Amino acid sequence: MKFFKSILILSLAAFTLAGCTQLEEALRQDLDGDSARTYLNENTDISSLILTVYDNLDLPYQDQSRFWAMQEHTADEVMGPTRGPDWDDNGIWRQLHNHTWDADHLFIRNTFDELLRAVFNATNVLAFNPSAAEAAEARFLRAFVMASVLDAWGQVPFREAGESLLDAPQVKKGTEAAEFIISEIDAIIGDLPTGDARVANQDAAQALKAKVLLNKGVYANRENPSFDPGDMAAVVTACDAIINSGRFSLADNYFDNFAPRNTETSPEMIFVAENLGGERSGNVRSRWYCTLHYNQNPSGWNGFCTIADFYDTFDESDPRTGGSAADRTETAGKTGVGHGFLIGQQVDKDGNNLEDRKGNPLSFTKEVALTENGGNLEVTGVRVVKYIIDLESGDNVDNDYVFFRYADVLLMKAEALLRSNDAAGALALVNEIRAKRGVAELSSIDEQGLLNERGYELYWEGHRRQDLIRFGKFLDPWTEKGQSGSERLLFPIPNTALAVNPNLEQNPGY
């Protein structure tokens, strides 16, 4: 009866969440275990269950206070200054920047819970006799989320479909978890479709496999990772499957990757979260709301910025640093807000200089402190607008949220080649990207140079913490952060999770 109870509980939860059910109101007293399984399999809308999993990705990945914050605020790309009475939030942003979070940090706890909800719901799909294609889709989504949990916490609670909910989930850790994710991808990739980046697909699976393989040595030993030649060769193979497919190329305009309708216009999109303009979306608009000043259009929350340590690594002539509103058809004549890095005097749609709330020039500066209490605290910090502002769609913007894109695949392959002593091959790939972006080619490449290139290309996209750890730079000091202890290479398991699952173990140092 354990299996039947698990199926029944899972099915009722799924029907409640999805809101799409053919379950009759009257209880079927005539159903034993086998007939109950048959009934549920025949009367469950599996497509609705899978859609629930896609919906589960929106909040933990697109919101400014979830997984993105854990990857970016803890790194050198994002700071969330306290600006007088604004953005204090009981120090929650300062803790991320200073690496002083603990096992009760609200954002870390919420992210852990929400990611595991997606893992649970993906596993739930498998309990209802899905087709091979449906099972592959659910298993890819589960693997995708498990990779995030592994990266952040080093251990992943896991159930097989049909296991009793009365028993605590088992936990996969480190290399075991990485190898499980890779094995899942290998098992399902042939049943995934090619094409649409808004659903699980073969190229997304190859990109995920390459990402996990590239970080596999980190998951085995975060303080001193090694990079197995076989793993690096497998990274190259996975990346080549995408490169040689002929389905992707680098975008002519870098910011097309982040504009409204980006999946339709950019040739780089491999896997995205679909946002439907004017209808439904995640919270990708927070990427510009969290950084823009109150007096800009759209009016922002005047919060996040980048720091000079990161900004100063860019060549000023690099087009990836941004442009004006007039450079884009989406914003020309409608707003004065540019894209990329915003520094210096800001203007309205007619080119008139803007002021802050005290009547001072709204001119963003590189100088910024984590706690701003004096001076012109409204303008400190270089602001970042990576996604082109959608001024037409209201709260539900039309920019799909980018998980994997083609440039990242080229950089992953370049890194695998560099770690395999093929610097020439790595340099050729880096220069392919630089040439497309309109930046002078490099004459040589080393690890620091490759890390820099990943920053230039992928800034504010949610990769930076993982990259810094892999390159051995995450514990280093930067603006208003001192040297960190090695325990910060993992996040703590939330105390609430430890209380309900005895198979979880708190990570060292917490």
CATH code of the domain covering residue 11: 1.25.40.390
Regarding whether 177 and 39 lie in a shared domain, the answer is yes
Compute CA 249 distance to the chain's CA centroid, rounded to the nearest angstrom. 21
> What is the pLDDT at residue 376?
85
Residue 433 lies in a domain: no
**In this model, does residue 126 exceed pLDDT 50?**
yes
For residues 84 and 184, membership in a common domain is answered with: yes
Identify whether residues 76 and 179 lie together within a single domain: yes
Backbone torsions φ then ψ of 507, nearest 5 degrees: -70, 150
Element (H, E) at 138: helix 132-153
Residue 1 pLDDT exceeds 70? no
Between strands 371-372 and 82-83, the pairing is: parallel
In whole angstroms, give the CA distance from residue 275 to residue 206: 23
The pLDDT value recorded for residue 374 is 75
Please answer whether residues 451 and 412 qualify as being in contact, where contact means their C-beta atoms are separated by less than 8 angstroms.
Answer: no
Same domain for 186 and 76: yes
Task: Give CA angle at 363 (359, 367), nearest 5°.
Answer: 120
pLDDT at site 7:
37
Domain assignment present for residue 443? The answer is: no
- Residue 43 is predicted with a pLDDT of 59
Q: Give the helix/strand (H/E) hosting 323.
A: strand 322-323
Among 394, 419, 450, the domain boundary falls at 394
Span 84-110, mean pLDDT?
Answer: 96
Give the pLDDT confidence score for residue 106 in this predicted structure.
97
Total number of domains in the chain: 2
**331 located within any domain:** yes
Do the domain assignments include residue 14?
yes
Q: Do the beta carbons of residue 450 and residue 418 sit within 8 Å?
A: yes
Q: Indicate if 388 and 496 belong to the same structural domain.
A: no
Q: How many CB atoms lie within 10 A of CB 228?
A: 13
- Whether residue 506 is contained in a domain is answered as no
Specify whether 41 is located in the same domain as 167.
Answer: yes
Q: Within 13 Å of residue 243, how many CA atoms lie on the same side as its CB?
A: 17
Provide the pLDDT for residue 70.
Answer: 98
Residue 173's Cβ-count burial label (10 Å; 0-12, 13-18, 19+) is middle
Q: Based on the domain organization, do 166 and 300 belong to the same domain?
A: no
User: Do 35 and 166 sit in the same domain of this protein?
Assistant: yes
> In 3-state terms, what secondary structure has residue 270?
strand
DSSP-derived 3-state class of residue 505: coil
- Which of the four pLDDT bands, split at 50, 70 and 90, describes residue 41? low
pLDDT at position 12 is 37
18 inside domain: yes
What dihedral angle (degrees, nearest 10) is formed by the CA atoms of 2, 506, 178, 74? 130
In this prediction, residues 432-448 reach a mean pLDDT of 98
Q: What was the pLDDT predicted at 36?
A: 45
Structural contact between residues 106 and 496, judged by C-beta atoms closer than 8 angstroms: no
Calculate mean pLDDT across residues 422-445. Answer: 98
Q: Are 28 and 159 in the same domain?
A: yes
Confidence grade of residue 27 (pLDDT, cut at 50, 70, 90): very low
pTM: 0.92
Query: Residue 421 falls within a domain, yes or no?
Result: no
Does the pLDDT of residue 151 top 50, yes or no? yes
pLDDT at 17: 38
User: What is the predicted pLDDT for the residue at 85?
Assistant: 87
Q: Are residues 187 and 331 in the same domain?
A: no
How is residue 267 written in tokens? Answer: 């040739």
Burial of 246 (0-12, 13-18, 19+ CB in 10 A): exposed
pLDDT the model gives residue 44: 78
Strand pairing class (269-273; 401-405): antiparallel
Residue 461: both structure tokens together: 């996209």
CA geometry: angle 235, 237, 238, nearest 5 deg: 65
- CA 474, 64, 318, 311 torsion: positive or negative? negative
Q: Which of 167-176, 203-212, 329-338, 372-381 bottoms out in mean pLDDT, i.e. has the lowest?
A: 372-381
pLDDT digits (tens, 9 = 90+) for 449-497: 999 999 999 999 999 999 999 999 999 999 999 999 999 999 999 999 9
The residue among 394, 409, 433 that closes a domain is: 394
348: containing domain: 283-394
Instruction: Give the torsion sign (CA, 259, 264, 267, 270).
Output: positive
- DSSP for residue 26: S
Mean pLDDT over 69-93 rounds to 96
Decide if pLDDT at 11 tops 50.
Answer: no
47 pLDDT tier (thresholds 50, 70, 90): very high
Token readout for 193 is 């479709």
Q: What are phi and psi of 402, to 5 degrees?
A: -85, 120
Q: Which of 346, 377, 394 is the last residue of a domain?
A: 394
The rounded mean pLDDT for the chain is 93
Say if 176 falls within a structural domain: yes
The token pair at 183 is 């094995």
Q: Is the dihedral of CA 463, 465, 466, 468 positive or negative?
A: positive
Distance CA 214, CA 204 (A): 15
- CA distances to 29, 308, 482, 497 from 373, rounded to whole Å, are 67, 19, 21, 37
**pLDDT tens per residue, range 402-424:** 999 999 999 999 999 999 999 99
Secondary element (H or E) of residue 228? none
> Residue 153: which of 500, 489, 444, 405 has the closest Cα?
489
Q: How much is the pLDDT for 35?
A: 53
- Asked if 188 and 319 sit in the same domain, the reply is no
Residues 6+ apart with CB under 8 A from 491: 70, 101, 108, 152, 153, 507
Residue 401 has pLDDT above 70, yes or no: yes
Q: What is the pLDDT of residue 38?
A: 54
376 vs 361: CA distance, rounded Å: 10
- Residue 81 shares a structural domain with residue 183: yes
